[in-house]
Amino acid sequence: MVVLKSHLYPLKEQSILVPVLQSISRPYNALTTIHQQYGDLVLGKVFNKKILFVSIPEHVEEVYSQEARGLLSRDFLYDAKKSLFGDGLINSKKDIWEDQRRIMQPLFTKEAITEWENIVISEADAAINRIKGEADGEINISRVLKQLIQKTFIKILLGISVDNISNKEELINSISTISKGLLPLMIAEIISNGKLMWFMPNKKRQYDEAVNQLKAFVEQEIANKYDQPGHDLISLLVQARDNKTGYTIPKDLIRDEAVNLFFAGQDTTVNTLAWFFYLIGKNATLHKKITEEVNKYKDDKITLENLGKLTYTKAALYETLRLYPSSSALATQAIADVVIGGQNISRGTTIILSTYVTHRHDKLWEHPNEFYPEHFANQTLAGKHKYAFYPYGGGLHNCIGRHFVEMEMLIIIVSCLRAFTFETNKEIKEAASITLKPERDVMVSITLRNA
Distance CA 107, CA 116 (A): 11
- Whether 407 and 310 have beta carbons less than 8 Å apart is answered as no
Residues in contact with ligand HEM by the rule CB under 6 A: 89-90, 101, 260-261, 264-265, 268-269, 272, 326-327, 330, 391-393, 397, 399-401, 404-405
- Cite the beta strand spans of 98-255 per DSSP E: 137-140
Distance CA 409, CA 403 (A): 10
CB of 233: closest distance to ligand HEM in angstroms? 8
The nearer residue to ligand HEM, 111 or 227, going by C-beta atoms, is 111
Cα-Cα-Cα-Cα dihedral sign, residues 252, 257, 262, 263:
positive
Exposure letters 83-115 (e unless 16+ CB within 10 A, then b):
ebbbbbbbbbeeebbebbeebbeeebeeeebee
The nearer residue to ligand HEM, 19 or 391, going by C-beta atoms, is 391
Instruction: Say which residues have a Cβ less than 8 Å from residue 375's Cβ, sequence separation at least 6.
Output: 315, 318, 319, 322, 365, 366, 367
CB of 73: closest distance to ligand HEM in angstroms? 12
CB of 411: closest distance to ligand HEM in angstroms? 13
Q: What are phi and psi of 264, to 5 degrees?
A: -65, -30
- Whether 368 and 361 have beta carbons less than 8 Å apart is answered as yes
CB of 132: closest distance to ligand HEM in angstroms? 26
The nearer residue to ligand HEM, 235 or 326, going by C-beta atoms, is 326
The nearer residue to ligand HEM, 21 or 335, going by C-beta atoms, is 335
Supply the angle between the helices 78-85 and 251-282 in degrees, to the nearest 10.
90
CB of 389: closest distance to ligand HEM in angstroms? 11
The nearer residue to ligand HEM, 39 or 262, going by C-beta atoms, is 262
Distance CA 314, CA 311 (A): 5
- List alpha helices for 223-283, DSSP H: 233-239, 251-282
User: What is the greatest pairwise CA distance in the chain?
Assistant: 65
CB of 445: closest distance to ligand HEM in angstroms? 25
Question: Which residue's CB atom is positioned nearest to ligand HEM?
Answer: 401
- Whether 104 and 237 have beta carbons less than 8 Å apart is answered as yes
Q: Which residues pair with 343 in a beta bridge?
A: 340
Distance CA 51, CA 351 (A): 6
The nearer residue to ligand HEM, 93 or 130, going by C-beta atoms, is 93
Q: How many residues are listed for the chain in this entry? A: 451
The nearer residue to ligand HEM, 23 or 355, going by C-beta atoms, is 355
CB of 93: closest distance to ligand HEM in angstroms? 11
The nearer residue to ligand HEM, 11 or 392, going by C-beta atoms, is 392
CB of 274: closest distance to ligand HEM in angstroms? 11
- With residue 206 as reference, give the H or E element that holds it: helix 201-222
CB of 437: closest distance to ligand HEM in angstroms? 12
- Give the number of C-alpha atoms closer than 13 A to the C-alpha of residue 68, restricted to the C-beta side: 11
CB of 88: closest distance to ligand HEM in angstroms? 7
Cα-Cα-Cα-Cα dihedral sign, residues 145, 148, 154, 155:
negative
The nearer residue to ligand HEM, 11 or 77, going by C-beta atoms, is 77
The nearer residue to ligand HEM, 260 or 349, going by C-beta atoms, is 260
At 364, is the secondary structure helix, strand, or coil? coil
